[in-house]
Structure 1
Amino acid sequence: MLTTALALTACSAPAPGDSTSSAGSLTVWVDADRAAVLKDAAAEFTKESGVEVKLVQKDFADIQEQFIAQVPTGKGPDITIGAHDWLGNFVTNGVVAPVELGDKASDFQDVAVTAMSFDGVTYGVPYSIENIAMLRNTALAPTAPTSYDDMIAMGKSAGTEFPFIVQVGPESDPYHLYPFQTSFGAPVFGTNADGSYNAGELTIGNAGGDQFATWLAQEGAVGNLNISLTGDLAKEKFNAGASPFFLTGPWNVADAQAAGIDVAVDPIPAPGPNAAQPFVGVQGFFVSAKSTNTLAASEFLTNYIATESVQTALYEVGKRAPALTASFEAASADPIIAGFGEVGATAVPMPNIPEMGSVWQFWGVTEAAIIGGQADPVGLWQKMAADVQGAI
């Protein structure tokens, strides 16, 4: 289906402003939220270099598919905004060019540069990082829990409807449950020496995975995990004071504060023997492999997008923690950003390898079946691992 969709997209006429730029200009795809910030950076770059920068606004959800479809035809942009977990598809489709950060690589948080790399090569300039952490209603829980069991005990002592809240839903939510899974030592894939994911080493079905599956069944049986708690309902319940704790991302903080909750951000308590590591998502900018002005594109990204002023401005617009360390440290004056950043610093990048696409289709529905007590948890988990391996 994806191949057909991409083929149809490639046959479509490009929208105005989509064509690859001439040598004296750059075309940059950007979403509406980031366009205003980049307008100033583009104007400064044009003033200094004489290279015109054309900003073309795109719906973020459409960018990956359109970029893969249009670049091979020579009708894509020189630069596009995007998410790091698109990178595997970009590289395997031959649509992105490496970006040489050089000494500037050390100016970014390590996890951001790792996320923007594939097979040891850096392909993007990061500007933000994002991850989940544990929100705490300080009126119901004045101090942070020291462990998962401590959190459950604190939640029960508060006398609220739920000891803690995490969105699960009828098909589960592996993204939100992943920190618990990693605490049992069951990452999806193994990693290479440089920190990149090894697609040939599927580790989700290891002994730690069996332990996690058993834990999911136990937590589902006692009601700590509930497949009726969708994302919207989880948010509604926490904002109504139905639990002291909410495992979620920065996107839900503003509404909680608007509901009158004094929010603190804590590390995620681990039910297993290891630290609870959530996925971290990184956003940044990529250079087209078909750009006719790669030198100017690289110059714009490394000497303008990778500056503290631009990264701070992007943070102020999107409220995503900056990838540039200097900008992040300045933003960390906000305790909310500092809290999420502390968790994100030890988080793991969402796998950016194409094989990850074979995981999602089996992962969530299996977790939901285990939480719902449908069958032997270990048997279900091992069947899922086998199905994923077969799909890969």
Structure 2
Amino acid sequence: MRKHLLAVAAAGLSLTLVACGGDAGDTGTTTEPTTDETTTAAETSPTAEESTESTPAEATGTLTIWVDETRIDGFKALGEAFQSSTGVTLDVVQKPSQDIKTDFIAQAPTGQGPDLIVGAHDWTGDLVKNGVISPVELGDKADAFSEVSLRAFTNGGQAYGVPYAVENIALVRNNAMVQDTPATFDELIAQGKAAEGAEFPIVIQQGPDGDAYHLYPIQTSFGASVFKTDANGDYTAELGMEGPEGLAFAEYLKKLADEGVVSVAMGGDQAKQAFLDGKTPYMITGPWWTTEFTAADMDISVLPVPSAGGQPSAPFVGVQGVFLSSQSENAILAGQFIDYMATKEAQDKLFETGGRLPALTESADAVSDEILAGFGEAGKDGQPMPAIPEMGAVWQFWGGAEVSIINGQAAPADAWNAMNANIKEAFSSTEG
């Protein structure tokens, strides 16, 4: 999930790209256009004689972009608008969401991959490691994006990809049961217990394997981030969950379990249904379920999660963006599209088709939907989902430790200390 020069002659924002080398093995096949079917940058650049008669807006050629099934319509509409303004065709190719990253890593070094891909910011670490994407320099346009969306695509102080949509969890309130929300999580629990008809003060999905993602806003309010960051704001491999802050959260989690606030029996579907049935005034969830709540004519509000530990509650933030292939033979045309992605026109169009809060602040501020605006407010203190390779070793131990605390199988401090030790041992094994 992360953050981060061949000059590009492009209209508008004057973004700059730097090719990034690397190798990866060739696995699988592709049905995408080969280099013979794609117009190269050299072929589309004007000759000296033509340069006085043509402009970047009159360029011709084709860019290939891979998108998943949920974004195909939005990027087709975007491609039409882009072609109208530049003359460049955007060949939008649908790929299964689970295949885009792995196929791109395999095919980009062979020259058979696309010029651009659409994906989550937490792909950045793997894509940079494999040398298949180039960084972009947003220049003064960087200030136009939300701070968290830029951090999400930053790696080693450089931005990789242009963010266009952000998503995070928040506190969702049933206004038919309560009309105001206290400032602290403990006060919220007390209010929820007293609400008429409530069986649960709040629901937070867990399940038999735990769900650290949905507990993370509470954990960060104790100052226990999953990883520490360096001077550039990049995540390091040093755990931030060790020490008194992490232990304080572990003890608080046991308290929540003892009070019946959290349970492994409360999976995602159970939590959603409890909220729909009016059995709880609160739920910690994301925009993917609020559409069901509004479809059921529920009057809801979306708010930041109140602090349990005295510091701001910081949910994980997921950011979607466009990456540029380091092997693209159409770098100048791709640069024009990257410029276009950083415009309000493009961000507005993707919001209209995708329904996720734009990364561009001007576009986000213009969103009139109070529910989406509420998620945006709740994510202002959020932390990008870590994209460093070490994150893959965290989830299993993290969820397992929380389950053992919730179920009373281990003392909070013992479970938490063992979790940190196991995670660090997994890091060492990976490095070896």
C-alpha displacement of 1:47: 4.3
Distance of aligned partners of 1:27 and 1:182 in 2 relative to their CA distance in 1, 3 Å threshold: same
Equivalent in 26, 31, 40 of residue 77 of structure 2: 40
1:43 & 1:139 partners in 2: Cα distance? Answer: 44
* Structure 2 letter corresponding to 1:26: L
State the partner residue of 1:327. Answer: 363
1:77-226 correspondence to structure 2 within 5 Å: 77-159=114-196, 160-199=198-237, 201-226=238-263
* Structure 2 letter corresponding to 1:126: P
1:270 & 1:48 partners in 2: Cα distance? Answer: 47
1:233 & 1:161 partners in 2: Cα distance? Answer: 13
Question: Which string of whole-angstrom CA distances, capped at 9 and with x for unpartnered residues, describes residues 303-344 of structure 1?
Answer: x2222122112112221110011110111x221122111111
Contact in 1 for aligned 2:304/2:379 (Cα 8 Å): no
Contact in 1 for aligned 2:117/2:323 (Cα 8 Å): yes
**Paired residue secondary structure (2:136):** coil
* Structure 2 letter corresponding to 1:350: M
1:288 & 1:150 partners in 2: Cα distance? Answer: 50
What is the identity percentage for the equivalent residue pairs of Structure 1 and Structure 2? 46
Contact in 2 for aligned 1:18/1:77 (Cα 8 Å): no
**Paired residue secondary structure (2:93):** strand
1:1-392 correspondence to structure 2 within 5 Å: 10-17=26-33, 21-23=38-40, 24-159=61-196, 160-199=198-237, 201-302=238-339, 304-331=340-367, 333-392=368-427
Contact in 2 for aligned 1:169/1:226 (Cα 8 Å): yes
C-alpha displacement of 1:248: 0.4
2:415 & 2:372 partners in 1: Cα distance? Answer: 38
**Paired residue secondary structure (1:11):** coil
Distance of aligned partners of 1:18 and 1:241 in 2 relative to their CA distance in 1, 3 Å threshold: farther
1:21 & 1:126 partners in 2: Cα distance? Answer: 26
C-alpha displacement of 1:374: 0.3
1:100 & 1:379 partners in 2: Cα distance? Answer: 46
1:318 & 1:66 partners in 2: Cα distance? Answer: 24
Distance of aligned partners of 1:189 and 1:18 in 2 relative to their CA distance in 1, 3 Å threshold: farther
Distance of aligned partners of 1:13 and 1:375 in 2 relative to their CA distance in 1, 3 Å threshold: same
1:18 & 1:132 partners in 2: Cα distance? Answer: 41
Contact in 1 for aligned 2:28/2:106 (Cα 8 Å): no
C-alpha displacement of 1:252: 0.9
Q: TM-score, structure 2 length as denominator?
A: 0.85
Q: Unaligned stretches of 5+ in structure 2?
A: 1-23, 41-60, 428-432
C-alpha displacement of 1:386: 0.8
Distance of aligned partners of 1:48 and 1:335 in 2 relative to their CA distance in 1, 3 Å threshold: closer
Q: TM-score, structure 1 length as denominator?
A: 0.93
**Paired residue secondary structure (1:154):** helix
Distance of aligned partners of 1:115 and 1:37 in 2 relative to their CA distance in 1, 3 Å threshold: same
Which has the greater radius of gyration? 2
2:211 & 2:392 partners in 1: Cα distance? Answer: 15
C-alpha displacement of 1:133: 0.6
Question: Which string of whole-angstrom CA distances, capped at 9 and with x for unpartnered residues, describes residues 241-273 of structure 1?
Answer: 010000001111111122231001111011112
Contact in 1 for aligned 2:32/2:112 (Cα 8 Å): no
Question: Which string of whole-angstrom CA distances, capped at 9 and with x for unpartnered residues, describes residues 79-108 of structure 1?
Answer: 000000110111111111111212211111
Contact in 2 for aligned 1:134/1:247 (Cα 8 Å): yes
1:220 & 1:71 partners in 2: Cα distance? Answer: 48
Contact in 1 for aligned 2:165/2:320 (Cα 8 Å): yes
Deviates more, 1:68-77 or 1:348-357: 68-77
C-alpha displacement of 1:34: 2.5
2:243 & 2:38 partners in 1: Cα distance? Answer: 49
C-alpha displacement of 1:72: 2.1
Contact in 2 for aligned 1:132/1:340 (Cα 8 Å): yes
RMSD of equivalent CA atoms? 1.6
Query: Which has the larger share of helix?
Result: 1
